[in-house]
Amino acid sequence: MVTSRYSFYAFLVIALCLPFGLFPQTESKEQLQQQKVRLEDEIKFANTILREMRADKKESISSLEALNQKLRIRNQLIRTLNSEVALLEKERQEQAQKITELEEYLANQLDVYANMIRKARQSHRGDKILAFIFSSQDFFQAVKRVQYLKQIAKARQDQINRIKQTQETLIEKKALIEKKAQEKQRVIERQKLEQMSMQDEREDQKQQLASFKGKEKEIQKEIERKQQQRDQLNKEIETLIAAEINRAKEEAKRRSLESDADGLGLQKGKDYTASTSNRDLNKKIEKARAERKAAGEASPEASLPSLNVEDQQLAANFSANKKKLPWPVEQGLVVSRYGRQNHPVAKQVVIDNKGIDIATKKGSDARAVFDGVVTRIVRIPGANKAVLVSHGNYFTVYSNLKDIYVSKGDNIKVGQSLGRIYTDDESGKTHLHFEVWQDMEVMDPQAWLQ
């Protein structure tokens, strides 16, 4: 009887020692918060850009491009808020389920405690407790019975504490679920405000588009003129990159020839000089190989042309930083993306953009996205200036610059200012055209930037 009763209370003490805690915040919620802050900052910057473009000026295609991008960002923000509402509702439901489970558990705890009290009253009145102790066969059994009674008392007290803890946890959970409901309501209200702002911006967009009606021919001519400038710039860049790749190949070929000559015992300055042509040096190498072969001596294998060690490391570092490169401006708004896309006004016209166009504040500088060497300063009539920077076999292009701060051959560091970005007086637009190349292949810059 004593053993079975002791086992029951021992099991009860262990079973009731269950941890309770609030649900931890999920990482996805933190990501949503960060994304929301970033989008809010981009909208604020878009407003700054639009104010600069519209200051004492009529509406322009540039301001329409900025407004279109602002609408895209606003739409992203609304989608982020939708995700936040869904997440808050999921958390609220989880808390509601937990409250239901706690209430059921509390009811069970109260039943267990009531049962403990009933049994204690039935079998452990004062006279029965004394009789239980004094009926022990010896002193040690009496001590064990006293300890057993203390354990029963402790189990009841632990049950009381567990009930209090459960009740406190319930209060916390109910407060948390109320907080989630209020937070969700605040996000819903924010959604409504953002949707109203989007409606106003779409109306603004319609009005701007309407202002360009009847000017299709002028716009078409302007598009063609700018496309000619871009084509000329791209042709110049392709020529320069091809020349740079060819120069690197020639240097690599020369290094491999001199390495072969050195391995065969030919001395620079004695057997050949820097002015010795590759053709003549190759003849000397073939002659030295033939002499070794005739003498029965083995010749080292011919080395393969490759980039120098510095350029190889630079290219490897550039490649390793894909999606991590800093933006080429301090603050910017992408108003024209990479690839083929319709013109914002002349929808029938398809623009093939080799890079991205980033609108920024007046007076802003273009900044290097990575360490490298200034390969060339390009000047295109009517298209301002461009800087070509090599990073091993990778190249970055920064065009539509007014003032240039660097020179050909300069070693530059990431974040270094390359030049002042041009501001169009008529449209108020300050934009940087930015491109990324790997050898002769042009790439999407946004795939490389942070």
What's the pLDDT tens digit per position in 360-378?
999 999 999 999 999 999 8
Q: How many residues does the chain have?
A: 450
- pLDDT for res 212: 77
- pLDDT for res 40: 82
How is domain 216-247+312-447 classified at the CATH fold level? Glucose Permease (Domain IIA) (2.70.70)
pLDDT tens per residue across span 346-363? 666 777 889 999 999 999
Give 295 or 438, the one with higher predicted confidence: 438
- Collapse the DSSP code of 427 into the 3-class scheme (helix H, G, I; strand E, B; otherwise coil) and give the result: coil
Strands (E), 284-430: 333-336, 339-342, 350-353, 356-359, 365-367, 372-379, 385-391, 394-404, 411-412, 417-421
* CA–CA gap between residue 359 and residue 73 (Å, rounded): 14
pLDDT range class, residue 287, cuts 50, 70, 90? confident
Which residue, 356, 313, 360, is CA-closest to 332? 360
Rounded (to 5) percent helix, strand, coil in the chain:
60, 15, 25
Instruction: Please list the residues that pair with 243 across neighbouring strands.
Output: none
Provide φ and ψ at 268, rounded to 5°.
-70, 135
DSSP of 189-210: HHHHHHHHHHHHHHHHHHHHHH
Q: What is the pTM of this model?
A: 0.65
Half-sphere exposure of 437 (CA within 13 A, CB side): 22
Domain ranges of the chain: 2-211, 216-247+312-447, 248-310
* CA–CA gap between residue 301 and residue 307 (Å, rounded): 19
Asked if residue 16 has pLDDT above 50, the reply is: no
pLDDT tens per residue across span 185-202? 888 888 888 889 888 888
Determine if residue 214 is left, alpha or beta; phi over 0 gives left, psi from -120 to 50 gives alpha, anything else beta. Answer: left
The CA R_g of the chain, rounded to the nearest whole Å, is 39
Q: Which residues contact 215 (CB under 8 A, 6 or more apart)?
A: none
Residue type at position 1:
M
Two structure tokens written together for 445:
């810059």
- pLDDT for res 448: 95
Provide φ and ψ at 335, rounded to 5°.
-105, -15
Helix count (H) and strand count (E) of the chain? 8, 12
- pLDDT for res 327: 95
Other CB atoms closer than 10 Å to residue 228's CB: what's the count? 13
Instruction: Please list the residues that pair with 388 across neighbouring strands.
Output: 376, 397
pLDDT tens per residue across span 165-191? 777 777 777 778 788 888 888 888 888
